[in-house]
C-alpha cells in the first residue's frame, strides 16, 4: 500500500500548544508582579474548568479523551480568557466564561480544528455583555493602590467577595487607562492633561505596560520558534499604529498616540496570542495581513467611538466571520498558473 | 567558460523541505555487480503506457538482448531478455506496484552463458535523426529517474520541436537514494557522451546539468567530464523536491513551465542522468535497456548500489547487500518521501526501481494517530507548487471534488512535503490521491453515461422511425389493397386508367422497406462497435477481465468497509476508505500520468 511519506518532521500539536503556553509565562510573571497573586487563582480555576469541560464534552461526543486533553488547546483558551478578565473578579465569572468558551464556542462546533470563532474571545464577549459592571472593574496596579492586598486577601476576595475589614473597594480598584481616557475625553478633557493622571505610565497604563511588553517578548519567542509567522502580529501592530497615528497627527488633543494604543489594553496579547489562533484565522499569507489589519481597524474604532473601552474581542469575532471570504479571495498564485 | 566555477544564478521555488539525507550509508562502496540469479522475471509493463506485444513463446531459447516484446502503440516500450536462457513461464506474477495486483511477466531461466545477440552499434553522428529515433523505439529505454516514460517519445526528433535547452536531472533529491550520485562519480564520461547524443537528437546547444549540493563528488566528476565542452554543471541547494522536473527547470533557469504545457512547448527538455547513459550504451554498443543502478539501502547489513539486471528477484539483491537485518519488516521501493511498500518480497527489479529500502520500525516509525487539522498552514509553507494543502484536504475529506479541482488539486505532484511537516500527522497525500482517483472515476462514469444516453436516444429514435415506417407500410398496403379492389372493380367495369398509380405506390413501399432494413443493419453494426471491438488475442482479454474483476472486488471491499465499520474516533474510517481507494487510484494514476504528463522526477 502506498502510504508515503514515511518520514515526518513536525512538532506535534501538543508541542506547539505547550510553546504557546510557555510564551505566556513572562507575561504572567509580570502580571503577578504588577497586580498581585490573584491571577494565579483565576488561571488555576480557568485551567481546571477548561480541562473538565473538554473531557466531559469529549465523553459526551464519544471522542477519545486523552489525546484531545493532551493537545492543551483548551488550556490556552483558559489562560487567554483568564488574562483578559479582571483578576479580582468573583470565582464564578472565569468558570462561566471558560465553560462557555470550551463547551459552546469550541466543542459544540466539533472541537479542536472546527471552531469558526476564537473560543477565548467568545467567552470574553459573553462575559462582557452579561456582566459589564464586574468586567470593567479592574484592580489598580499594586504600586498605585492605596491599600495593597496580599495574596491571601485576593484569594479570599475572589471566593467570598469580601475585602479585609478596613479596606474599601475603591481603594483597590481603578478604571483601566483606556476606560479612563474614554470617559475623560467625553468630559471634554484633552489627552495631554488626562495622561497626567497617575494611572498612566510612559507608554500605556502604569504597570500594565510592563505586562504588554512581556507579552511582546513571549510573542517574539513564538515567532523565533516558527510557531507563528510574522504576518499577523506585524500587520496588526502596524495597522493599529497607522490608524491611531493618522488620527493623532490630525488632532493630538483628542486622540491618543500610537504608542499608547500599542501598549494599552489587549493590543500585544491580541497581536501575538489571540489573532494567531490558527483554527479560527486565515491561512494565506495575504489573508493574514488583511485579517490582522481588519482586527486593528475595528479595535481602534471600538476604542475611540464604541461603547466599550477595548474592542479586541469584538474585532476578532467579526473578522473570524470574514475568514472564509478572506481565504477564498487571497489564494496565492499556483506554480505554473497565471494569476 | 570555466566549468569549475558555478556562475549560474539559482531561482528558488516556493516551499520545499529538507529531510535527513541518509545518503552516505550507500555511497561508501562502489557500484557492485550481482551474480546471475536462478531466474529472471520480466514484467511486460515496466513503463508508463501500453503493454508491449509479446514476441516469444514458452520454451523459446533466447539470447541476451533479444527482443521479448515490442512497443505497441505510441506510448509503450520494448522488453528484452536480460540474459541468455530459456523462457520457462509466461504468466501473471506479482510486480512492484502499490496495488499488489499481478501482471503479465516473462520468466527466463538463465543458461549461464550470457550469450549476446548480435549487437548493432550505430554511427549516430553520421545517421539522420529520424532513423535513430525510430530505432530507439526498440531500445526499451524509458526515463530512469522513476517516471519510466518511454524515451523515444520525448525525442520525436524531426529536430523541429523548438527545444533550445536540455536539462539533465541529476538532483536526486529524495533521501536514501544514491544511484545517480554513484553513476556520476563512476561513469561521468559515459554520461557526457550520452548527453552529446541527446543534444544531437534534439538539436540543442545549451545543456545544464542540475546537481544538489549534497553531492560534491558527483558534481566534481561531472565538471571534470564537461571541462572541454559547453555543458554547464549547476549546483542547486539541497531542498526536496528539487529533482521534480518542473522545480529543477525553475531552479536552473527561472522558467515556470505553465501547468497545462509540457516542457518541450517552452523549448526545454529534461532527461535523467541514467537515461542519457542508457542512450549512450544503446547507440555506441547496441545494448538495449537491460539493467540499471539500484540503491539497496536501509536495514541491510551492507548498503550499496548495484548494477542490477531487470527481472532480478529482490531477495537476490538483498543477499548481495549483506542480507536484511533481523528487524526488517518489509521493503520500500523509491525514497521515503514518494516510495511505496512492496506488496511482496519476491518482486523483480524493474526499470522504475531506483532504490529499495529495507524498512524497519527503527527507520520508519509508524506515524502517531492523526489529529484534526488546526489550519496552521505549515503545509502551505512547504508546498513546492504553492498550493493550499489545508484547503485541498478539507475538500477531499468532504468529497467536495469540484472545489478541490478549483483549488488546483491536479497540480499536486504528491511529493509529500505537506505530510512531512504536518503537526497533526494527517496523511494528506493519500487524501489527494483518493480525491484525484475519485474525480477521474467520476469523469469516466460521466463519459460512459453520455455514451449510454446517446445510444439510448439513438435506439428510441430508431424504434420510433421503424414504427412510423411500419405504419406507413401498413397504410400503403391498405391503400394498395384498396386500389386493387378498386382496380378489380374498375376492371369489372372494363376500365384501365389507375394501373400506373398503383405500381408507383407499391414501388415506394418497397423502397421504404429496403431503407428500413439498411438502417437496422447500420444500427446493429454501430451497436456492435460500441459494445467494444473484438479482443485482439485471448491472453490480453483474460488479463483485462481479471484486472477488472480485481478492481471490482477492491471497490466492493471498500464499500463493505464503509458500511460495516462504526465511525471510529480520529478519522480512521476515512483512512480505511482511502486505503482501499488507493488501489484504484494507482491504476487510474498510471492513465492520468500518461494523459497529463505532469510527471514528477525525471520524465
| Domain assignment present for A339 | no
User: Are A16 and A157 within one domain?
Assistant: yes
Instruction: Give the residue, A195 or B327, on which the prediction is more confident.
Output: B327
Neighbours of B126 (CB within 10 A): 6
- A324 CB within 8 Å of a chain B CB: no
Q: Give the pLDDT of residue B603.
A: 43
Interface touch A10/B372, C-beta < 8 Å:
no
Looking at residue B544, its pLDDT comes to 58
Q: What does the alpha-carbon distance between residue B480 and residue A281 come to, in Å, rounded to a whole number?
A: 85
Neighbours of A99 (CB within 10 A): 18
What does the alpha-carbon distance between residue B168 and residue B231 come to, in Å, rounded to a whole number? 10
The C-alpha atoms of residue B372 and residue B192 are separated, in whole angstroms, by 50
ipTM computed for the complex: 0.90
Report the distance separating Cα B343 and Cα B304, nearest Å: 23
Is A187 part of any domain?
yes
Instruction: Inform me whether the pLDDT recorded for B450 exceeds 50.
Output: yes
Q: B570 and A64 in contact by Cβ < 8 A? A: yes
Considering only CB atoms, which chain B residues are within 8 Å of A334? 259, 385-387, 408, 411
Cα–Cα distance measured from residue B69 to residue B84, given in angstroms and rounded to the nearest whole number: 15
C-alpha torsion B422→B428→B429→B434, nearest 10: 170
| Cβ–Cβ gap A336/B256 under 8 Å | yes
Contacts of B386 in chain A (CB under 8 A): 332-335
In this predicted structure, what is the pLDDT of residue B574?
A: 63
Q: What is the pLDDT of residue B121?
A: 93
Are A179 and A261 contained in the same domain? Answer: yes
Fold observed for domain B152-286: Rossmann fold (3.40.50)
CA distances from B396 to B445, B477, B574, B600 (A): 19, 65, 11, 21
Torsion sign over Cα B55, B57, B62, B64 = positive
- Could you tell me if A157 and A88 are in contact, meaning their C-beta atoms sit under 8 angstroms apart? yes
If asked whether residues A203 and A147 sit together in one domain, one would say no
Final residue of a structural domain among A124, A150, A174 = A174
Res. B587: pLDDT tops 70: no
> How far apart are the C-alpha atoms of B234 and B498, rounded to whole Å?
97
Ranking B213-217, B437-441, B537-541, B585-589 by mean pLDDT, the lowest is: B537-541
Residues A91 and A81 occupy one common structural domain: yes
To the nearest whole Å, the CA of B76 is away from the closest chain A CA by 25
Task: Write down the residue that cell numbers 523541505 correspond to.
Answer: B17
**pLDDT, position B228:** 87
Helices (H) and strands (E) in chain B, counts: 15, 17
**Minimal CA separation from B260 to chain A, in Å:** 8
Question: Mean pLDDT throughout A261-287?
Answer: 95
B603 neighbors B149 (Cβ within 8 angstroms): yes
What's the pLDDT score for residue B57? 94
Mutate to test the interface with B, among A6, A280, A282 (most CBs of B within 10 A): A6
Task: Please choose, from the candidates B218, B363, B211, the residue with its C-alpha nearest in 3D space to the C-alpha of residue B297.
Answer: B363
B332 touches chain A (CB under 8 A): yes
User: How many domains, in total, are found in chain A?
Assistant: 2
Q: Taking the domains of chain B in order of start, what are their residue ranges?
A: 152-286, 296-359, 378-532+552-603
Same-domain check for residues A144 and A193: no
A120 and A188 share one domain: no
Long-range CB contacts (within 8 A, 24+) of A179-185: A179/A136, A179/A138, A179/A309, A181/A256, A182/A303, A182/A309, A185/A254
Using a CB-CB cut-off of 8 Å, the residues of chain A touching B419 are 5, 8
Q: How far is CA B324 from CA B53, B171, B298, B313, in A?
A: 37, 28, 9, 15
Contact B253, B236 (CB under 8 A): no
Report the C-alpha gap between A267 and A299 in whole angstroms.
9
A66/B contact by beta carbon, under 8 A: no
On whether the CB atoms of residues A96 and A42 are closer than 8 A, the answer is no
Identify whether A3 is part of a domain.
no
Q: Give the pTM.
A: 0.81
Query: How far is residue B209's CA from residue B196's CA, in Å, rounded to a whole number?
Result: 13
Same domain for A294 and A315, yes or no, is yes
Average pLDDT, chain B: 86
Task: Kindly determine whether residue B385 and residue A111, on different chains, have CB atoms separated by under 8 Å.
Answer: no
| Beta bridge partner(s), residue B167 | B208, B270
> What grid cell was written down for B517?
432494413
Q: Is the pLDDT of residue B22 over 90?
A: yes
Domain extent for A203: 175-330
Q: How far apart are CA A160 and CA A154, in angstroms?
A: 10
Between chains, do B259 and A336 touch, taking CB under 8 Å as contact? yes
The closest alpha carbon to A50, from A119, A113, A114, belongs to A119
A214 and A74 within one domain: no
Give kind and range of the element (H or E) at residue B41: strand B40-43
Please tell me which residue, B577 or B279, carries the higher pLDDT value: B279
Q: How far is A6 from chain B (nearest CA, A)?
A: 5
- Chain B residues whose CB is inside 8 A of the A15 CB are 423
- Contact B200/A at CB under 8 A: no
Is B12:B319 a contact under the CB 8 Å cutoff? Answer: no
Indicate if A109 and A142 belong to the same structural domain: yes
Question: Which residues of chain B lie closer than 8 angstroms to A5, CB-CB?
Answer: 336-338, 416, 419-420, 429
What's the average model confidence in pLDDT over B577-599?
A: 57
Last residue of a domain, one of A139, A174, A209: A174
In a domain, A4, yes or no: no
Q: Are residues A200 and A157 in the same domain?
A: no
Whether residue A4 and residue B340 make contact (CB cut-off 8 A), yes or no, is yes
Residue A167 and residue A33 in one domain = yes
Q: Are B208 and B309 in contact (CB under 8 A)?
A: no
Q: For B255, name the nearest residue in chain A, comparing CA atoms only.
A: A336
Lowest mean pLDDT among A193-207, B47-61, B131-145: A193-207
Q: Which residues contact B385 (CB under 8 A, 6 or more apart)?
A: A334, A335, A336, B14, B15, B408, B411, B412, B413
Which chain B residues touch A223 with a CB distance below 8 Å?
A: none
C-alpha cell at B20: 535527513
Q: Which residues pair with B340 in a beta bridge?
A: B333
* Contact status, residue A180 vs residue A193, Cβ threshold 8 Å: no
> Is some CB atom of chain B closer than 8 A to the CB atom of A13?
yes
Look at residue A1 and tell me if it is in a domain: no
The torsion angles phi and psi of B21, rounded to 5 degrees, stand at -75, -40
Q: Which of A71, A278, A337 has the CB atom closest to B375's CB atom? A: A278
pLDDT digits (tens, 9 = 90+) for B122-169: 999 998 888 898 899 999 999 998 889 999 888 865 666 688 999 999
Q: Residues A252, A113: one domain? A: no
Give me the helix-helix angle, A231-250 and A285-305, nearest 10°.
40
Q: Which of chain A's residues have a Cβ under 8 Å away from the Cβ of B100? A: 1
Interface of B with A in 426-455 (CB under 8 A): 427, 429-430, 433
**Contact status of A3 with chain B (Cβ, < 8 Å):** yes
Nearest to A336 among B411, B416, B420 (CB): B411
Cα B365 to Cα A90, B318, B416: the distances in Å are 49, 22, 16
Residues B336, A113: C-beta atoms closer than 8 Å: no
- Final residue in a domain of this structure, among A111, A144, A174: A174
Amino acid at each position: 500500500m502506498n502510504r508515503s511519506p514515511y518520514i515526518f518532521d513536525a512538532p506535534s500539536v501538543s508541542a506547539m500548544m505547550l510553546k504557546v503556553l510557555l510564551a505566556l509565562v513572562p507575561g504572567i510573571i509580570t502580571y503577578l508582579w504588577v497586580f498581585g497573586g490573584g491571577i494565579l487563582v483565576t488561571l488555576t480555576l480557568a485551567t481546571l474548568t477548561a480541562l473538565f469541560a473538554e473531557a466531559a464534552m469529549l465523553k459526551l461526543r464519544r471522542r477519545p479523551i486523552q489525546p484531545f486533553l493532551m493537545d492543551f488547546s483548551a488550556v490556552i483558551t483558559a489562560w487567554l480568557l483568564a488574562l483578559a478578565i479582571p483578576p479580582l473578579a468573583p470565582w464564578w465569572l472565569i468558570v462561566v466564561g471558560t465553560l462557555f468558551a470550551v463547551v459552546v464556542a469550541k466543542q459544540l462546533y466539533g472541537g479542536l480544528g472546527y471552531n469558526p470563532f476564537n473560543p477565548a474571545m467568545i467567552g470574553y464577549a459573553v462575559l462582557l455583555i452579561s456582566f459589564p459592571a464586574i468586567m470593567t472593574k479592574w484592580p489598580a496596579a499594586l504600586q498605585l493602590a492605596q491599600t495593597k492586598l496580599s495574596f491571601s486577601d485576593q484569594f479570599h476576595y475572589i471566593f467570598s467577595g469580601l475585602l479585609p475589614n478596613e479596606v474599601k473597594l475603591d481603594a483597590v480598584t481603578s478604571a483601566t487607562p483606556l476606560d479612563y481616557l474614554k470617559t475623560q475625553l467625553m468630559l471634554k478633557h484633552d489627552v495631554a492633561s488626562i495622561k497626567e493622571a497617575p494611572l498612566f505610565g510612559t507608554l500605556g497604563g502604569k504597570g500594565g505596560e510592563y505586562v504588554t511588553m512581556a507579552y511582546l517578548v513571549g510573542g517574539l519567542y513564538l515567532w523565533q520558534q516558527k510557531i507563528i509567522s510574522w504576518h499577523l502580529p506585524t500587520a496588526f501592530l502596524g495597522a493599529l499604529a497607522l490608524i491611531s497615528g493618522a488620527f493623532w497627527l490630525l488632532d493630538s488633543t483628542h486622540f491618543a498616540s500610537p504608542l499608547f494604543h500599542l501598549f494599552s489594553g489587549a493590543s500585544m496579547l491580541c497581536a501575538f496570542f489571540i489573532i494567531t489562533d490558527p483554527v479560527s484565522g486565515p491561512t494565506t499569507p495575504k489573508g493574514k495581513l488583511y485579517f490582522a489589519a481588519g482586527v486593528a481597524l475595528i479595535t481602534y474604532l471600538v476604542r475611540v467611538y464604541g461603547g466599550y473601552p477595548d474592542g479586541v474581542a469584538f474585532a476578532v469575532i467579526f473578522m473570524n466571520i470574514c475568514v472564509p471570504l478572506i481565504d477564498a479571495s487571497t489564494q496565492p498564485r499556483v506554480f505554473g498558473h497565471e494569476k | 567558460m570555466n566549468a569549475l566555477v558555478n556562475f549560474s544564478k539559482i531561482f528558488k521555488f516556493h516551499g520545499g523541505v529538507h529531510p535527513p539525507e541518509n545518503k552516505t550509508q550507500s555511497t561508501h562502496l562502489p557500484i557492485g555487480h550481482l551474480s546471475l540469479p536462478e531466474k529472471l522475471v520480466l514484467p511486460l509493463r515496466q513503463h508508463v503506457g501500453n503493454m508491449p506485444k509479446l514476441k516469444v513463446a514458452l520454451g523459446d531459447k533466447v539470447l541476451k538482448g533479444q527482443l521479448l516484446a515490442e512497443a505497441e502503440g505510441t506510448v509503450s516500450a520494448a522488453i528484452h531478455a536480460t540474459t541468455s536462457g530459456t523462457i520457462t513461464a509466461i504468466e501473471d506474477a506479482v510486480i512492484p506496484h502499490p496495488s499488489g495486483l499481478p501482471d503479465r511477466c516473462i520468466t527466463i531461466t538463465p543458461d549461464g552463458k550470457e550469450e549476446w545477440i548480435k549487437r548493432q552499434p550505430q554511427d549516430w553522428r553520421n545517421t539522420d535523426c529520424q532513423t535513430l529515433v525510430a530505432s530507439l523505439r526498440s531500445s526499451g529505454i524509458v526515463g530512469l529517474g522513476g517516471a519510466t516514460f518511454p524515451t523515444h517519445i520525448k525525442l520525436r526528433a524531426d529536430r523541429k520541436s523548438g527545444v533550445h535547452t536540455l536539462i539533465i536531472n541529476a538532483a536526486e533529491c529524495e533521501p536514501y537514494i544514491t544511484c545517480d550520485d554513484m553513476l556520476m562519480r563512476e561513469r561521468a564520461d559515459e554520461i557526457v557522451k550520452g548527453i552529446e547524443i541527446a543534444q544531437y537528437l534534439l538539436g540543442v546547444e545549451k545543456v545544464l546539468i542540475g546537481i544538489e549540493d549534497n553531492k560534491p563528488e558527483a558534481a566534481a566528476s561531472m565538471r571534470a567530464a564537461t571541462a572541454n565542452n559547453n555543458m554547464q554543471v549547476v549546483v542547486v541547494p539541497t531542498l526536496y523536491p528539487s529533482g521534480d522536473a518542473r522545480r529543477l527547470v525553475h531552479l536552473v533557469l527561472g522558467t515556470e513551465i505553465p501547468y497545462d504545457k509540457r516542457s518541450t512547448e517552452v523549448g526545454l527538455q529534461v532527461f535523467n542522468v541514467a537515461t542519457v547513459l542508457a542512450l549512450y550504451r544503446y547507440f555506441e554498443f547496441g545494448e538495449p535497456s537491460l539493467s540499471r543502478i539500484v540503491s539497496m539501502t536501509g536495514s541491510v547489513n551492507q548498503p550499496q548500489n548495484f548494477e542490477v539486471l531487470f527481472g532480478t528477484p529482490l531477495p537476490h539483491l538483498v543477499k548481495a547487500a549483506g542480507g536484511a537485518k533481523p528487524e526488517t519488516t518489509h521493503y520500500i521501493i523509491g525514497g521515503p518521501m514518494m516510495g511505496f511498500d512492496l506488496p511482496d518480497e519476491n518482486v523483480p527489479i524493474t526499470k522504475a526501481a531506483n532504490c529499495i529500502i529495507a524498512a524497519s520500525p527503527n527507520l520508519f516509525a509508524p506515524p502517531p494517530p492523526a489529529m484534526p487539522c488546526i489550519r496552521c498552514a505549515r503545509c502551505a509553507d512547504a508546498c513546492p507548487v504553492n498550493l493550499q494543502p489545508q484547503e485541498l484536504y478539507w475538500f477531499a475529506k468532504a468529497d467536495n471534488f469540484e472545489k478541490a479541482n478549483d483549488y488546483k488539486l491536479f497540480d499536486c505532484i504528491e511529493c509529500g512535503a505537506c505530510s512531512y511537516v504536518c503537526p497533526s500527522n494527517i496523511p494528506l497525500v493519500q487524501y489527494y490521491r483518493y480525491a484525484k482517483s475519485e474525480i477521474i472515476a467520476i469523469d469516466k462514469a460521466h463519459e460512459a453515461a453520455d455514451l449510454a444516453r446517446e445510444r439510448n436516444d439513438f435506439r428510441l429514435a430508431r424504434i420510433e422511425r421503424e414504427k412510423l415506417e411500419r405504419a406507413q407500410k401498413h397504410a400503403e398496403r391498405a391503400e394498395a389493397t384498396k386500389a386493387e379492389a378498386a382496380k378489380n372493380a374498375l376492371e369489372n367495369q372494363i376500365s384501365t386508367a389507375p394501373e400506373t398509380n398503383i405500381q408507383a405506390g407499391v414501388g415506394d413501399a418497397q423502397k421504404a422497406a429496403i431503407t428500413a432494413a439498411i438502417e437496422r443493419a447500420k444500427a446493429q453494426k454501430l451497436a456492435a462497435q460500441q459494445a467494444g471491438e473484438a479482443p485482439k488475442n485471448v491472453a490480453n482479454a483474460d488479463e483485462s477481465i481479471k484486472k477488472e474483476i480485481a478492481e471490482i472486488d477492491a471497490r466492493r471491499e471498500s464499500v463493505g468497509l464503509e458500511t460495516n465499520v462504526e465511525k471510529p474516533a480520529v478519522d480512521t474510517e476515512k483512512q480505511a476508505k482511502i486505503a482501499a481507494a488507493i488501489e484504484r487510484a494507482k491504476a487510474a494514476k498510471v492513465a492520468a500520468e500518461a494523459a497529463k504528463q505532469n510527471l514528477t522526477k525525471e520524465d
